[in-house]
Structure 1
Amino acid sequence: MALNLHLVRIFSVVAEQGSFSRGAQVAHISQPAVTKAIQELEKQVGIPLLERGRQGVRLTEAGQKLQEYARTIFVAESAAEEELRALRGVTGGTLRIGASLTIANYYLPPLVARFHEIYPQLSLRLMSYNTENIEQLLLDYKLDIALVEGPVHHDRIEAQKWREDELVVVAAANHPLANHKHLTAADLNEATWVVRESGSGTREVIEAALLERALHWKHTLEINSTAAIKQTVASGLGLALVSLYSAADQIAVGKLCVLPVSDLRVTRPLNSLHLKNRPLGIAARTFKKFIFEEATQ
Structure 2
Amino acid sequence: MSVDVAQLRDFIAVVDAGSLSRAAGALHVSQPAISQRMAQLEAHLGVRLLDRGPRGVRPTSRGLTLYRDAQQLVRQFDRLAQDITGARQPVHGPVAIGLPTTVAAPLAPALFSWVRAHYPDVHLQLFESMSGYVHELLLAGRLDLAAVFREDDSPRTGELPLYSEELYLIGDPDPAPANPDEVSLRDLSEVPLVTPGVRSNLRALVDRAFAAHGLEPRNVGDVESLGTLIRIAESGEACTILPRSVAAVHGTRDRLAVRRIVDPSLRRHIAVRTATDGYEPREAVVAVRRGIVEVTRELAASGRWPGIHLT
Asked if these proteins are the same fold (TM beyond 0.5), I'd say yes
Amino acid at match of 2:215: L
Aligned-pair CA distance for 1:10: 6.4
1:283 paired residue number? 287
Kindly report which structure 2 residues correspond to 1:64-75, keeping only aligned pairs within 5 A, or say none. Answer: 64-65=60-61, 68-69=64-65, 72=68
Q: Gaps (5+ residues) in structure 2?
A: 303-311
In the TM superposition, what are the counterparts of 1:159-198 in structure 2 within 5 Å? 159-160=160-161, 162-172=162-172, 175-178=173-176, 180-181=178-179, 183-198=183-198
| SS of aligned partner of 1:178 | coil
Q: Partner of 1:149: helix, strand, or coil?
A: strand
Check whether the contact 2:11–2:38 (CA below 8 A) recurs between aligned residues.
Answer: yes
SS at match of 1:273: strand
Tell me which residue corresponds to 1:109.
Answer: 108
Q: Kindly report which structure 2 residues correspond to 1:6-17, keeping only aligned pairs within 5 A, or say none.
A: 6=6, 9=10, 13=14, 16-17=18-19
CA–CA separation in structure 1 for the residues paired with 2:118 and 2:12: 35
**Aligned AA (1:217):** P
Tell me by how many angstroms 1:287 deviates: 0.8
The 3-state SS of whatever aligns with 2:107 is: helix
281-290 vs 87-96, greater mean Cα deviation = 87-96
Task: Indicate the SS of the match to 2:254.
Answer: coil
Q: Work out whether residues 147 and 273 of structure 2, in 8 Å CA contact, stay in contact via their aligned partners in 1.
A: yes
Letter of the aligned partner of 1:223 in structure 2?
Answer: V
Looking at structure 2, the residues matched to 82 and 135 of structure 1 have their Cα atoms a distance apart, in angstroms, of 35
Partner residue in 1 for 2:88? 88
Correspondence for 1:206: 206
Cα distance between partner residues in 1 of 2:50 and 2:89: 42
- TM-score scaled by length of structure 2: 0.67
Question: What secondary structure, in the 3-state scheme, does the structure 1 residue paired with 2:168 have?
Answer: strand
SS in 2 for 1:277: coil
Structure-2 separation of matches of 1:125 and 1:286: 16
Amino acid in the other structure paired with 2:159? E
How far did residue 245 of structure 1 move?
A: 0.6
The one-letter code of the counterpart of 1:256 is L
TM-aligned CA deviation for residue 65 of structure 1: 4.0
CA contact (8 A) 1:171 1:258 kept: yes
Residue 245 in structure 1 maps to residue 249 in structure 2: no
Q: 1:245 to 1:24 in 2, by over 3 A?
A: closer
Alpha carbons of 1:147 and 1:39: their partners in 2 closer, same or farther (altered >3 Å)? Answer: closer
Counterpart residue type for residue 258 of structure 2: V
Does the C-alpha gap of structure 1 residues 287 and 225 become closer, same or farther in structure 2, counting only changes over 3 Å?
same
Counterpart Cα distance in 1 of 2:145 and 2:203: 22
Counterpart-to-counterpart distance in 2, 1:219 and 1:283 = 41
- Is the CA contact 2:210–2:216 (under 8 Å) kept in the aligned structure 1? yes
Give the aligned residue type for 1:128.
E
Aligned residue-pair number: 286
Secondary structure of 1:205's counterpart equals helix
Q: Which residue of 2 aligns with 1:43?
A: 43
- Provide closer, same or farther for how the CA distance between residues 278 and 57 of structure 1 changes in structure 2, counting only shifts above 3 A: closer
**Aligned sequence identity (%):** 21
Aligned to 2:157: 156
* TM-score calculated relative to the size of structure 1: 0.69
Change over 3 Å in CA distance of 1:159–1:17 after alignment to 2: closer
Rounded to whole Å, the distance in 1 between the matches of 2:260 and 2:292 is 35
Which stretch of structure 1 is more off in the superposition, 162-171 or 202-211?
202-211
Distance across 2 between alignment mates of 1:57 and 1:289: 31
Aligned to 2:266: 266
Q: Deviations over 1:191-220 (max 9, x none)?
A: 332111233232233233333333312434
- Structure 1 spans left out of the alignment, 5+ residues: none
User: What letter matches 2:226 in structure 1?
Assistant: T
Contact 2:194 2:220 in 1 (8 A): yes
Evaluate the alpha carbon distance shift between residue 108 and residue 51 of structure 1 in structure 2; reply closer, same or farther with a 3 A threshold.
Answer: closer
The CA distance in 1 between the partners of 2:55 and 2:141, in whole Å, is 21
Are the structure 2 counterparts of residues 48 and 225 from structure 1 closer, same or farther at C-alpha, using a change threshold of 3 Å?
Answer: same
* 1:42–1:201 Cα change, 3 Å: same
Q: Deviations over 1:116-144 (max 9, x none)?
A: 56337243332234445545655676555
